[in-house]
Amino acid sequence: MSKTFTTALTLNSTTLFPQTSTVTANLTQVVSGSADFSYRVLSASSFTNLFRSTEADISSTVYFYAQALSTNIQTLLLSITGSNTSGSSMVRLRPGDITYMPLNVDAAGVSVNCINTSPSSSNIYVFYAERS
């Protein structure tokens, strides 16, 4: 059974460039695989798996969103390994930062892990949806 979700993105600046700049996009995605939204508490100095896809067809896409809560005291690192990376890639999420990534997945799968180097626990919202 197909499900849908909508992403909305607005980038706006009146001071970053010589003239005011705005980019807006609204996309509706149709997904047919699994989906999840969760609030995760990451233990101090931990390595936590947020998403793992081990079997997918060549045309599979995973829409992945993460938000580090503004109450976190330190940067979180997302480590992405799998079919569409050479080795691994890192995304830094400072307190309050967000990321949205459509990840291409093949039969090798893909993993998104979070590294919390903080001496205390941190919090993150995680959403993913798979389209075959």
Note the pLDDT tens digit of each residue in 57-97: 566 888 999 999 999 999 999 998 875 555 677 899 999 99
8-33 residue pLDDT tens: 989 999 998 889 999 999 999 888 88
Question: Structural domains in the chain?
Answer: 31-131 (2.60.120.510)
Q: Is the dihedral of CA 100, 102, 107, 108 positive or negative?
A: negative
pLDDT given at position 69: 95
**pLDDT, mean of residues 29-54:** 89
Residue 104 burial (10 A CB sphere; 0-12, 13-18, 19+): middle
In the chain, beta strands by DSSP E = 3-13, 21-31, 35-42, 46-53, 60-68, 76-82, 88-93, 98-105, 110-116, 122-131
The 8-class DSSP code of residue 17 comes to S
Smallest CA-to-CA distance from 97 within 75, 72, 73, 68 is with 68
Structure-token pair, residue 49: 């798996």
* Residue with the larger pLDDT of the pair 1 and 79: 79
